[in-house]
A and B are shown apart, each in its own frame.
Chain A
Amino acid sequence: LAKTTQPISMDSYEGQEVNITCSHNNIATNDYITWYQQFPSQGPRFIIQGYKTKVTNEVASLFIPADRKSSTLSLPRVSLSDTAVYYCLVGDPEFTSGTYKYIFGTGTRLKVLA
């Protein structure tokens, strides 16, 4: 059974780079690792997704080591509007049934200070 762990909270100042790590063991070997952002009273919003090594888009980078036991979301030059909760999402295969459970990380509450 896959298990995920994230830091509960992080503080950062505007303009700094923020790195949030999700530790995950026993995840599906052929599935993506995805990160979401959630603001209060809203559903999560997709940030970035990767399978291995490094992925970059216009808002973030995602680093995944070869063993895929963790992933790190990197937010460059954060602003006050990046204050939110960040979740990783991984797949947990059920080999007996051939289905997947999908597991969200515990969430990291990022607070960006002026």
Chain B
Amino acid sequence: KAGVTQTPRYLIKTRGQQVTLSCSPISGHRSVSWYQQTPGQGLQFLFEYFSETQRNKGNFPGRFSGRQFSNSRSEMNVSTLELGDSALYLCASSLEGLATEQYFGPGTRLTVT
């Protein structure tokens, strides 16, 4: 079956702008989680959505938000971009949540200039 897809794969934005990233989970998976990966901070958990509800949340400011649609597809939005938001943003899907096997997408590489 098709894996997790993320769009776009690469993105360049200017400081102060906002950005929306998209994630399509594996068919049948109800949980979608988002992570930020940087060389300095490593892999950091942003939030998890399950059946259209945010179920768990990491320690990121309110500029980072997300949502999940009825077909389980998810979007992540970052407003008022800062240089430090430059990172690889990974999306993962699973059947029941983070305690079960997660399947990661290839990520979206965001560069903020």
Contacts and interface: CB of A to CB of B under 8 A. Distances in A.
Nearest to A30: B99
Interface residues of A, number: 22
Interface in A90-111: 91, 99-104, 106-107
Q: Which applies to chain B's interface (DSSP): helix, strand, loop or mixed? A: strand
Interface stretch (B12-20, B38-46, B66-74, B78-86): B38-46
A42 B45 CA distance: 17
A101 B58 contact: yes
Report the contact-size class of chain B (Cβ under 8 Å from the partner): 20 to 34
Contact of B106 (A43, A103, A106, A107): A43
Nearest to B103: A46
Interface string B1-17: 00010000000000000
A98 to B, nearest CB: 10
A43 B107 contact: yes
A48 to B, nearest CB: 10
Given A44-B90, A46-B103, A104 B42 contact: yes
Interface of B: 4, 33, 35, 42-45, 48, 55-59, 90, 92, 98-107
Interface of A: 31-32, 34, 36, 41-46, 49, 87, 89, 91, 99-104, 106-107
Given A46-B101, A102-B58, 4 more contacts: A42-B106, A49-B101, A101-B56, A101-B57
